[in-house]
Amino acid sequence: MIDKLIALANASKIDIQITSYDHRDTTIQVKDDQLETFNISKRKHYLIVAKIGKKTVKLATENLENPEEILHLLQEQAHLLDNTTTIPFAKEEILPIKEEEQTVDTEKVIHELTSLNELKKDFQELLSIEGEYTHHYEKIAIDNSHVHLMDTNQYGVYGLSVTVQEEEHMESCYTAVSDIDVDLKQLALEQIHKALDRLHFQSLATNRYNVILSNECVADLLTQFAPIFEAQLIQKRKSVLTGKLHEKIFSQAFHLVEDPLYNHGFGKRIFDDEGSKTFKKEIIKDKAFVQMLYDNESATNDQVQSTGNSYGVYGMYLEPGSSTLEELIQDLKDGIYIDHLTGLHAGTNLNDGNISLQAEGYYIKDGKKDHALKMIILSTNFIELFSHIKEVANDLRFDHAKCGAPSVSFTDIAIAGEE
C-alpha cells in the first residue's frame, strides 16, 4: 500500500513521505505473589507528509487501505491551509543497526517478580509489593520517492512499588529502571527502607539550603524542561532560553549532551521521525546554551540544517563527575538530600523556568542521613538551579529514553516548609 500511495501521489505531482510505526509491547504485572496482568499488544500507525504546491500538509492514520481517499484528504487540507512553508524530505541512505527482536522469558520475569513477596518475612510492615515489566519493540520505516529507511528500537523496563504500614500510617514508594543488569531484590529493599523512613518524616523551616538532588530527580527535571532547548519553542518565544543562545548563564559543571546513539538501556535512534540523521551534540557547554535542537520546519525557519530532533530529545544526559553520591552527602555536611519530586507537570513553567515542586528526602547532618523529610517544596528556577551546581556525582542513571542524569549537589536553593 505504501508503494501504491507514493505512485498515486507522484502521478498527481505530489511529493509524499510516509513514516510507519510498528509497536509491540509485552506487559507483565504482579501484585505480591499473584500474576495480575499478562498482555501482548501490537499497534501500527502512519504519519504522512505531502508537499502540494508550495504547501506542506500532514495526516496521521492507522491504515493505508484506501490510498485514493488519503490523497483526497491531503489535497483538501492543502486547499484550506494558509501556510506556505516547504520542508525537505529524507534523501540520505542511513544504514540500520541490525538488531533482532528479543524474546522475553516471561516465566523467568514472573518468577523474579513474585519472589519479591518473600521479603514480607523480613519486614512485617510491608503491606504489599507490586512489580511490573514492560518490553517495548518498535520498527520505524520512512519511505518517499528517494529513499527507504528502516530502524528498530527495543528496551525493557522494570517498575516496583512498595507499600508499608505502621499502625494507621501508610507510605508508598515507586521506582522504574532499565532491565539491563538490574538487581530486583536490592531495588525492592531500597524502596522498602525508603518507605519505612517516610513513616517517621518531619518538615523543616522555610529557608535557603544546600541541596543534593538524586539522579532520578535531576533526570525528571531535565525531561520536563527538555522542550526549552527546541528551536520550535524558542521561535515562538515560549522557552525560558529564548534570546539566551551563547550566553554564559549556567554553572561550568552543567555539561549537557544529547546522544541518540548512546547505549543507555532504552534503545537507540539512528534517524528521527522525518528521516534526518541523528548524532551526538553538546547542548550546554562552558556555562552557555550552545545548540538549539531542530526539526525540519524550525530549521527551515532559521535557514539551517535539522539536528535530527523531530521527536524532541532522545538520550539527553548531564555528563557525570567523579565523586560518588555518598561523597557528595559527606561533603554536604548539613543540608537536604531530595530523592523524590511530585507535580512535575503542574509545578514547572517552560516559559519562565519557574519550579515549585513537592519534595521528599532526608535532612543531612554531619554528612549523614539524619531523618526523613516530607511536606517541603523545592522553589527555584531552572536557570538559577543549574547555575548553582557545586558538584556532579558519577551515578549516571536513565529511567526512560529521553533523559538521564547523575546526582547533583547545589548551593543556596530555596526550600519552602514550615512557616
pTM confidence score: 0.93
- Residues 109, 96: Cα–Cα separation, whole Å: 30
pLDDT, tens digit, 9 for 90 and up, residues 376-419? 999 999 999 999 999 999 999 997 778 999 999 999 999 999 86
- Label residue 370 left, alpha or beta by phi (over 0 means left) and psi (-120 to 50 means alpha): alpha
Closest CA to 47 of 33, 58, 31, 39: 58
Domain coordinates in residue numbering, the chain: 2-198, 207-416
Paired sense of beta strands 126-143 and 368-381, if any:
unpaired
Tell me what pLDDT residue 61 has: 95
CA distance 295 to 274: 8
pLDDT at 18: 96
DSSP per position, 335-369: EEEEEEEE-TTTTB-TTT-EEEEEEEEEEEETTEE
Task: Determine the pLDDT at residue 201.
Answer: 93
**What are 117-142's pLDDT values in tens digits?**
999 999 999 999 999 999 999 999 99
Q: Is residue 321 within 8 Å of residue 312, measured between CB atoms?
A: no
How far apart (Å, rounded) are the C-alpha atoms in residues 315 and 258?
6
- Which is nearest to 337 in space by CA: 299, 378, 301, 302? 378
- Residue 375's CB: how many other CB atoms inside 10 A? 14
Q: CA–CA distance from 174 to each of 31, 34, 351, 390 (Å)?
A: 14, 19, 30, 28
pLDDT score at 331 = 96
pLDDT of the chain, 419 residues: tens digit per residue: 899 999 999 999 999 999 999 999 999 999 999 999 999 999 999 999 999 988 889 999 999 999 999 999 999 998 888 777 778 898 888 877 767 788 899 999 999 999 999 999 999 999 999 999 999 999 999 999 989 999 998 999 999 999 999 999 999 999 999 888 899 999 999 999 999 999 999 999 999 999 999 999 999 999 999 999 999 999 999 999 999 999 999 999 999 999 999 887 788 899 999 999 999 999 999 999 999 999 999 999 999 999 999 999 999 999 999 999 999 999 999 999 999 999 999 999 999 999 999 999 999 999 999 999 999 999 999 999 999 999 999 999 997 778 999 999 999 999 999 86
Angle 406-412-415 from CA coordinates, rounded to 5°: 85
pLDDT at 87: 81
Find cell 519562565 and name the residue: 352
Q: What is the pLDDT of residue 180?
A: 85
CA dist 62 and 44 (Å) reads 6
CATH 3.30.2290.10 fits 2-198, yes or no: yes
Q: What pLDDT does 245 receive?
A: 97
Give the pLDDT of residue 8: 93
